[in-house]
Structure 1
């Protein structure tokens, strides 16, 4: 029997896998893999993400490495716009544009190709699975803006409350499609 969902929150609540003490003790990891694996739940989530991106005026979708690629690609296809894969450092051949950022335990960097697409004036909505501290989305914003793009918003499936991510992203609208998280 195929389950029909009324909204993304219902689909997520039905299919999400909660894993205690991962990646470390005291953390409850919200695994979206079962949501993505279920055709109806995935469709419902992508439809919600797409509608949010449409309202934010997306000319292009920026998908963050790695689950943002899965979600962002489906959204871009649904909207009939391009997808820009924003990769972790070292995954793309040169030349690249790079943006470093600070993590709790060190530094990391994001990259996009320096050739092959013109980002000047593009309105890009960033799509990812989870907003936690906001560091990755903020670094992606800085990277895209340095290339002449405008980040018109952020669309995520889940938000981990209390980690300050929302506050870091105050320059553009944030849409969390699972309002129960």
Structure 2
């Protein structure tokens, strides 16, 4: 099921643009207004459910923190497990981590070592709200694969196509964006 132009417009119109946040020159895409718009959020989640119902997924992995919102809801709709990929130091059990570059430094995300246990060669969908440069998403896909699971696709509500994140991540896994921002 592809989204109609009207449905895409409803979703896009529900996302607020905040100029100069977190710094001057940046237009921040605020999804809180999408989340509190029951029509737009409903259209989005029904679309994602329809898209992924035939993927034979075992888990959805959501990237900290907005990926949790979409990932947990979609996992429940599909009747599968949800796994959080968190910032370093936030998970209570044995973890593996992956570092990635930031504009001014390095950060790290982690997943529980046994996050996908119980399912051999688990098929995992990675999800987050937005892909820009792709550093976090690439690190997350690497983590999924390092656990012995397979990241079969990475899904984002918004893709900033003027940056290289989608291109770079597509070398590691298939990438799907609901909306692209030029």
Q: TM-score, normalised by structure 2?
A: 0.88
Secondary structure, counterpart of 2:151 in structure 1: strand
Do the aligned partners of residues 165 and 116 (structure 1) sit closer, same or farther apart at CA in structure 2, a change above 3 Å counting?
Answer: closer
For the 8 Å contact 1:49–1:156, the answer to whether it is kept is no
Q: Matches of 2:79 and 2:70 in 1, distance apart?
A: 14
Q: Matches of 1:7 and 1:57 in 2, distance apart?
A: 29
For the 8 Å contact 2:91–2:110, the answer to whether it is kept is yes
CA positional deviation for 1:8:
4.6
Partner of 2:61: 62
For the 8 Å contact 2:114–2:147, the answer to whether it is kept is no
Point out where structure 2 has 5 or more consecutive residues left out of the alignment: none
Partner of 1:176: 177
CA positional deviation for 1:128:
0.5
Partner of 1:74: 73
CA positional deviation for 1:50:
2.4
Point out where structure 1 has 5 or more consecutive residues left out of the alignment: none
Q: Which moved more, 1:87-96 or 1:110-119?
A: 110-119
CA positional deviation for 1:45:
1.2
Partner of 1:30: 29
Q: Matches of 1:31 and 1:166 in 2, distance apart?
A: 20
Q: Matches of 1:29 and 1:131 in 2, distance apart?
A: 12
Partner of 2:122: 122
- Cα root mean square deviation, aligned: 2.0
For the 8 Å contact 1:11–1:35, the answer to whether it is kept is no
Deviation digits for residues 104-148 of structure 1, max 9, x if unmatched? 211111111224640640010101000101111110111111110
Point out which structure has higher relative CO (alpha carbons under 8 A, 6+ apart): 1
- For residues 75-114 of structure 1, what are the structure 2 equivalents within 5 Å? 75-114=74-113
- For residues 135-146 of structure 1, what are the structure 2 equivalents within 5 Å? 135-146=135-146
Secondary structure, counterpart of 1:26 in structure 2: coil
Q: Matches of 1:8 and 1:179 in 2, distance apart?
A: 14
